[in-house]
Each structure stands twice: as C-alpha cells, then as structure tokens.
Amino acid sequence: MKAGSIVGLTLTQSPRSDSSLSEGLVSFVNPWKIEVVFDEYRDVIELSDAHIYKLTKLSNDVTYRRLKSALEDLLEKSKSGPWQRLINTLFGIEDISIPGEYDSFKFGNKKLDDYQKEAVKFALNQKEIAIIHGPPGTGKTTTVVELIIQAVRQGLKVLVTAPSNVAVDNITERLGKYQVIDIIRIGHPARFLPQVRKHSLDFRIEEYLETSIRSDINNCLFLECMHFIYQAIEAACWIGILQGKRCVLAGDHLQLPPTILSREAAAEGLKITLMERLMKTVFEWKHNEVVKMLHIQYRMHQDIMAWSSETLYAGQLEAHHSVATHLLKDLKHVAVEYVEETNFPLLLIDTAGCDVPELNNPEEVSKANEGEVEIVVNRVEELISYGVKPSDIAVISPYNFQVKLIRLQLCSRYFDLEVKTVDGFQGREKEVVIISMVRSNLKSSVGFLAEIRRINVAVTRARRHLTVICDTATVCTDKFIKSMVDHLHKKGKIRSGNQYLVER
C-alpha cells in the first residue's frame, strides 16, 4: 500500500466476499502507521474495541472508466462543435492554422534562456497545437510555468494536466509563488503534497461559495497545457484536451513512456504516446511549424550530457555554464583531501571476468545480481567517506528485484539515500547517481535494457557524478548500450569490479 491506494475496511474474520464497511484513500504510510481518509459525507463508521479490523487494497477501475469516457467523448465531439478543428488537426485531417503575431511579452521569470522564451511565445501564438520538446534538464517545468503566467495575463483560462499527482503538485507549488495567479488544484486532497493543499477545491470551497467556483471551473478553458506528456497514454491526454480549443504538449518522447502491461494492447498501439505519434506521423514534415525544442540543460556536467546529446538529440544540447564543469569536489561538505577521487564525472565499474552472474530465481519475474549489490554498497560507502551526503546519492536499477536487494543492504543505515527503479526515478535528479545494470549471462541477453529510452533516463539523472556498474561482455552486445560504454571509456575512469568485491 502507498499514498493514493484505495482500501476497504472490514473485520479481520470477514470472508473476502463480504463488502467493505467503508472504502477510503490511503493518505500516508510509514513502517509504523497507515492513515486513511474516508468520505465523511457518505461513511459513518462505528468501530468497536472488541473487534480487530483489516485494510484490503482494492482494485481501482476509476482510471479505466475515465479513459473509456474520454474516448466516447472524443468520438462525439469530433462530429461538430468548437473542438472539431483541434481534433481534426491532431489526427492530420486538417492542416494547422497560420500562427498569430502577438509579441508583446514581459516575462515574469528574468532567468529564462532564449530558447525557453521563444517556446513560450511560440505556444501562445499557435491556434491549435504547440509542442515544447524538453530533453532532460532543459527546464520544461520552468517553461510551462512561464507559459501559464503569460496566458493568464492575456485573460485566458488554463487547465494543466499531467499523469502523476507529483507533477501537477510541482507546477501548482511554483505557480503559488505568483499571487496574480488564481489556482485551483482539482483532485482528492489525500493525494496532494501538504504544501499545495491550500489550493485544493475543498479548501477553496471553505472560502467561497461552492457554486461559483464549480461554475468557473466548468466554463470553457481556452488553453490546455500537458506537462510530462510522454508518460501518459494518448487516451488519458484526451480527458484534458477536450476541455479546450487549444493544446500545448510539453515533454520528451525520447524518455520513458507509460508502462503497458498488456503485450497485446502495446502491439495494437497503446504504447505510442500522443506526443510520439504527432512528431513521427502527423507533423513529421512540419516539425518547425509545431515543435520548439529547449536546448540548454541546467542539470548535468557536460561529459554526462554529451552521450545522450549526440546519440538521441542530434548534438543539439548545451550545458549551461553553471553546471558544465561542476563536480563532487566543488560541494562544500566534500573533504579536500579526497579531491583526486571527486574530480571526475564518469566512472565505469566493469564486472566482466569478475564471476558475478545474474541470479536465476524461477520465483522472481524480475532480475538481480548479488555481486553488483556488493559493489553498489561499497561504492556508496566510499562516496560517503569522501564527505558526500547520503541525501545527494541515488542508486537506480532497471529491475525491481535488484532494487529490493540493495534496499535491504543500505536503507536501514542511510535513511536519506534513495534506491529506486529507473522508471520510478524519471523526472528526478541527484548529485550522484549509481546505476546497477544487473545483466551478466553466457547468452549475452540484455532483456529490456535494450529499451533506449530507459537507458537515456538512467544516465541523465546525475548532476555531478555518474557511476555505471555493468558486465560489458554482456551489455555491449546491444549497440546502443555499447555506445554509452564507449563514451565512458573515452570521457571517464574505468575500474574492475574486483576492486569493490571482498575476496572470495
């Protein structure tokens, strides 16, 4: 169970077929406590000290019903009405309109770079659709926030949607700093970050008449901003798009798409996101008329950035001067005597020939590698001994089983250290990122490491230092991964895994 899970409350001895006494939403979880929010208007719960109760995680069909409703709505609105022009444009039935020429902008954020400013101007002048392509670290959120501010100044009403509550909360929190923006955060408050709950509809109703707020929300919204759209399936995007006449998509189709569990559904096209479809089909020959790319990245050392820039973004990324050469040695808490060990941005720990094969556990669908776990633990402790804070380190792996084993070794000692899957760390960053690639086998099988977008996300999470742990004999059978390993050999330091393994 996690925050946002739907749960049912029943007596412990109740059979599974019994209906719940009440259903609620998990709002907080830690090792000792679970907090559940129930609807006070519907659920009156009388608990007895004489009984023991249990919480059962319930399946959630709300998303499915919303997606189905959106597609039915799309079919209906495509026939006539103010949405028809936008719908036809997004399906390539009609051409895009000639953009407007509004150029009188007074930017709220004085630190925007020229590419970000141009993207904001471009999006506001488009009549139907604008795509802001933001590679890793280029400031997509910053650009979207400025776009919203400019739209509101023009008298437009803006609906901002994203596939995760965290993404929406992030934008809400940033917009909250601008008092001229009237924000209403829609959704269940239990799923919000505490600092944005004051913007929730429930909170606002306490200040204003509910009818006037709901009426304002239900009015036609003229600009639709999709943030982190590459993580949303297309059907989900239409929920928001059909509320407006104009659409702005912000994201990166070269980072991880949503996870599709059904192979059949993926094969039939569900894995293709709206942004990917538009850029590869509808607007393939009109890229400059619809897409603006952000080129300056504010996260990574230039050597960490260079590989993804050359292989995926046609060498168009540029490291901002504030991050281009920053290293671990520049952090205040890193000890001066360890400068030689903290003055390089890339490290490859190669386990080829170290006899650390991946585990073959028939009870686990996922993969793991105990030898790489040991290397991770020793590398983390080495970095901490140099003065790097655990809170500045993230360990990521493509495999859930590997994440579980690493957490067992590290998280009880270093509470601020993050250990997550690559998919779970998308959109995040740390000063140090350690990647455990896991795969090491005689068949040279790399499995879903062959997904180039997953590798792109993994590498581009690091700010000052990246350590990659892998068996090059196995993973380099994939051409894309080999290009990454070649870059590490060219720009980084190389060490054998035996340096981090206890004698066996």
| Mean pLDDT value of segment 368-395 | 97
Overall number of domains in the chain? 3
pLDDT of 203 reads: 80
Is 394 among the domain residues? Answer: yes
Q: Could you write out the three-class secondary structure of 436-503? A: ECCCCCCCCCCHHHHCHHHHHHHHCCEEEEEEEEECHHHHCCCHHHHHHHHHHHHHCEEEEHHHHCCC
pLDDT reading at 214 higher than 60: no
494 neighbors 351 (Cβ within 8 angstroms):
no
Residue 113 pLDDT class (50, 70, 90 cuts): very high
The length of the chain is 504
Take residue 240 and report the two structure tokens written for it. 């928001």
Q: What local confidence, expressed as pLDDT, does residue 104 receive?
A: 78
Has residue 193 been placed in a domain? Answer: yes
Contact 221, 186 (CB under 8 A): no
Q: In terms of DSSP bridges, do strands 6-11 and 53-57 run parallel, antiparallel, or are they unpaired?
A: antiparallel
Are 404 and 378 in contact by the 8 Å Cβ rule? The answer is no
Calculate what percentage of the chain has a pLDDT beyond 90.
Answer: 58
If asked whether residues 289 and 393 sit together in one domain, one would say no
Q: What is the pLDDT of residues 70-95, one digit of tens each?
A: 999 999 999 888 889 999 999 999 99
53 with 66, same domain: the answer is no
| Whether residues 157 and 128 fall in one domain | yes
**Is the pLDDT score of 217 beyond 70?**
no
Q: How confident is the model at residue 227 (pLDDT cuts 50, 70, 90)?
A: very low
What is the per-residue pLDDT across 306-337, written as a single tens digit (0 to 9) for each? Answer: 999 999 999 999 999 999 999 999 999 999 99
Percentage, residues of the chain above pLDDT 70: 93
Give me the pLDDT at residue 196, please. 85
Task: Give every CB contact of residue 20 below 8 A, 6+ residues apart in sequence.
Answer: 8, 9, 10, 56, 58
Contact 232, 259 (CB under 8 A): no
Domain-ending residue, one of 275, 294, 313: 294
Residues 153 and 222 in one domain: yes
Confidence of residue 218 (pLDDT cuts 50, 70, 90): low
Do 309 and 322 lie in one domain? The reply is yes
Could you tell me if residue 41 is inside a domain? yes
Answer whether 249's CB lies under 8 Å from 278's CB. yes
pLDDT digits (tens, 9 = 90+) for 338-358: 999 999 999 999 999 999 999
Q: Which two tokens stand for residue 339?
A: 């400068």
Residue 202 resides in a domain:
yes
Whole-angstrom Cα distance, residue 46 to residue 55? 15
Both tokens of 288, joined, read 């400059």
Question: In this structure, are 315 and 284 located in the same domain?
Answer: no
Q: Each residue of 19-43: pLDDT tens digit?
A: 778 888 888 888 788 988 886 655 5
Res. 229: pLDDT tops 70:
no
Dist CA 3 CA 27 (whole Å): 5
Residue 417 lies inside a defined structural domain of this protein: yes
pLDDT in tens, 290-305: 999 999 999 999 999 9
End-to-end CA distance of the chain: 39
Question: Among residues 219, 223, 220, which one has the least CA distance to residue 152?
Answer: 223
Name the residue type at position 286.
K
3-state secondary structure of 414: coil
DSSP classification of residue 394: E
User: For residues 130 and 12, which has the higher predicted lDDT (pLDDT)?
Assistant: 130
The answer to whether position 40 is within a domain reads: yes
Nearest residue to 220 via CA among 195, 197, 245: 245
Q: Does residue 195 contact residue 235 with C-beta atoms inside 8 Å?
A: no
What angle is formed at CA 434 by the lines to CA 428 and CA 440, rounded to 5 degrees? Answer: 125
Residues 66 and 190 occupy one common structural domain: yes
Task: Please report, to the nearest 10 degrees, the dihedral formed by the alpha carbons of residues 231, 450, 349, 468 taken in order.
Answer: -10
- Are 347 and 405 members of one domain? yes
User: Residue 434: enclosing H or E segment and its boundaries?
Assistant: strand 430-436
What is the average pLDDT score of the chain? 89
pLDDT per position as a tens digit, 163-208: 888 888 888 888 888 876 788 888 877 778 888 888 887 787 766 6
CA distance 402 to 383: 20
Cβ neighbours of 320 (radius 10 Å): 16
Element (H, E) at 26: strand 22-30
Q: What is the pLDDT of residue 365?
A: 80
Query: What is the distance, to the nearest Å, from the Cα of residue 489 to the centroid of all Cα atoms in its chain?
Result: 29
Q: Do 464 and 327 meet the contact criterion of CB atoms below 8 Å apart? A: yes
My answer on whether 285 and 376 are in the same domain is: no
Q: Are residues 110 and 185 in the same domain?
A: yes
Same domain, 72 and 172: yes
Domain that holds residue 458: 302-499
Highest average pLDDT, of 1-10, 30-39, 237-246, 470-479, comes from: 470-479
pLDDT digits (tens, 9 = 90+) for 441-500: 999 999 989 999 999 999 999 999 999 999 999 999 999 999 999 999 999 999 999 999
For the entire predicted model, the pTM comes to: 0.86
| Tens digits of residue pLDDT in 43-62 | 566 778 888 888 888 877 78
- Would you say residue 504 lies in a domain? no
Chain segment 139-169, per-residue pLDDT in tens: 999 999 999 999 988 888 899 988 888 888 8
Does residue 326 sit in the same domain as residue 217? no
* Domain final residue, candidates 294, 311, 329: 294
pLDDT at 221: 47
Q: What is the domain-level CATH number for residue 184? A: 3.40.50.300
